[in-house]
Chain A
């Protein structure tokens, strides 16, 4: 279980201090598929980065399974079972898909095991296993490899930061299928997705609406989704393409 206790994050620049996350308290129970939605600039991605340790908190505490992880590094949190999929997957000259999956799994997994992870995200393993994770891969391909690195890790909590960003409609449809599959088959871990896509919200157990650094609403999908459907908090698939 992940607990956020009175967390805040302030960005400091020349213009002064801007409050991005304002005193949020939140509990994310185990084995749930939770989606955080909200308008752009509302603090969704920042919240995801605070959980993974990529951004330091300005105030508050983060508790994972009764352990205070507020001061833990990115590496420590990863080793404690937090996985993080980037909004813009990172490219590496020279590192192959297999290298990345092996790093993710923390051991020298066999090629056939690595291929299983690729198959789970709908990539032809034979074609991709030796490819470099570089600019020759499309946004959709990178996104799926990014998800495969999460699958290769034995994480308690998988955080996906706007998985739909930067991909085409065809890849988006595939992405939804991957999440549906994870939703239906993977009950061992909590999945936290940052997204305002209606189709991703539609497979959530719980929905959290975040705006202006605060929680506006929180509840089960059936409670929340009818209220926000058709608004900027639950956009149709084509709106992202516009």
Chain B
């Protein structure tokens, strides 16, 4: 498997990978699969249509991982990829996705990953997805991911989504439907610079008794960037849901936070919170009294906030 230094750098940023990962993986670079490994419990097949992969995880698979990172290092590539995860019952698996785009050219580069997760009964999934952009071309780096999660009874899914640098435009949509006693936890971290735009939409339906969701976004908007966080939790049964958006604005950054709740059952307990503000002057002064410059203090505060 040959990768150039740019591709290796992107892979490190989005999947913390320095080399070929252990366990099951599918590495995609510039529109083509460039490496794949399957295990006794985890199978990866190209879809018959050729526009993505099916990942099948057997019942009872524990302590295994699947890495499916994507890197784009050629300017002008536009692709939409469908990846479906069929996760059996009683599994405990880590899934690492993510996309890194390096665009030094004049044409836009765009990757849209459409991920669907069918999580089996009592399975526990940790999903990590990082987005990263680099390169100094005029072409934009665009990522419009769609994530759909269908959770069976007693399953748990923890999703960690991060986009900290270099993506010019993103429109992220996450839809989840939860059955009895299933639990969804989302931790989103987002930072936008320059003229970047980022939209993040969540629609989480708590359909059966005992289901719960906790969707928390922390974001920083700098420059003249714009963000919209639109999270709706729908309670259709005796369930509990919480959504929170906590944001820092800097320079001329703008943020629209629209947390919303819809209770269709008398036993649904739903909470939302949203806070947007600049860095508190006291926080800067405190760190300056510890010897940091104002700029260093800002960086420390933001790094901590997005950690």
Binding site for B on A (CB under 8 A): 52, 54, 73-75, 78-79, 82-84, 86, 88-90, 92-96, 99-100, 103-104, 106, 149, 153
Contact = CB atoms under 8 A, between A and B. Distances in A.
A78 B300 contact: no
A89 B283 CA distance: 9
A94 B246 CA distance: 12
Most A Cβ at <10 Å: residue of B285, B286, B306: B286
A1 to B, nearest CB: 20
Given A90-B280, A93-B246, A94-B306, 14 more contacts: A52-B289, A54-B285, A75-B288, A78-B291, A79-B291, A82-B289, A88-B282, A89-B286, A90-B285, A93-B304, A94-B218, A99-B300, A103-B290, A153-B291
A78 B301 contact: no
Contacts of B291: 75, 78-79, 103-104, 106, 153
Majority-rule SS of B interface residues: helix
A73 B294 CA distance: 10
A21 B304 CA distance: 37
A104 B285 CA distance: 13
Interface string B240-275: 000000100000000000000000000000000000
Contacts of B288: 73-75, 78
A149 B294 CA distance: 18
A106 B292 CA distance: 9
3 nearest interchain CB pairs? A94-B304, A95-B304, A74-B288
A43 to B, nearest CB: 19
Contacts of A104: 290-291
Contacts of A84: 289
26 contacts: A54-B285, A54-B289, A73-B288, A74-B285, A75-B288, A75-B291, A75-B292, A78-B290, A79-B291, A83-B289, A84-B289, A88-B282, A90-B280, A92-B301, A92-B304, A93-B246, A93-B304, A94-B301, A94-B303, A94-B305, A94-B307, A95-B300, A96-B304, A99-B300, A104-B290, A149-B290
B287 interface: yes
Given A74-B289, A75-B293, A90 B300 contact: no
Given A54-B285, A90-B282, A90-B283, A99 B304 contact: yes
A74 B283 CA distance: 13
Contact of B286 (A90, A93, A96): A90
Nearest to B307: A94
Contacts of B283: 90, 92
A78 B289 contact: yes
Given A74-B285, A92-B301, A153 B290 contact: yes
Given A94-B307, A103-B292, A86 B300 contact: no
A161 to B, nearest CB: 11
Nearest to B246: A93
Contacts of B307: 94
A52 to B, nearest CB: 6
B290 A86 contact: no
Contact of B287 (A83, A93, A103, A153): A103
Contacts of B246: 93
Contacts of A86: 282, 286
Nearest to B275: A93
A14 to B, nearest CB: 21
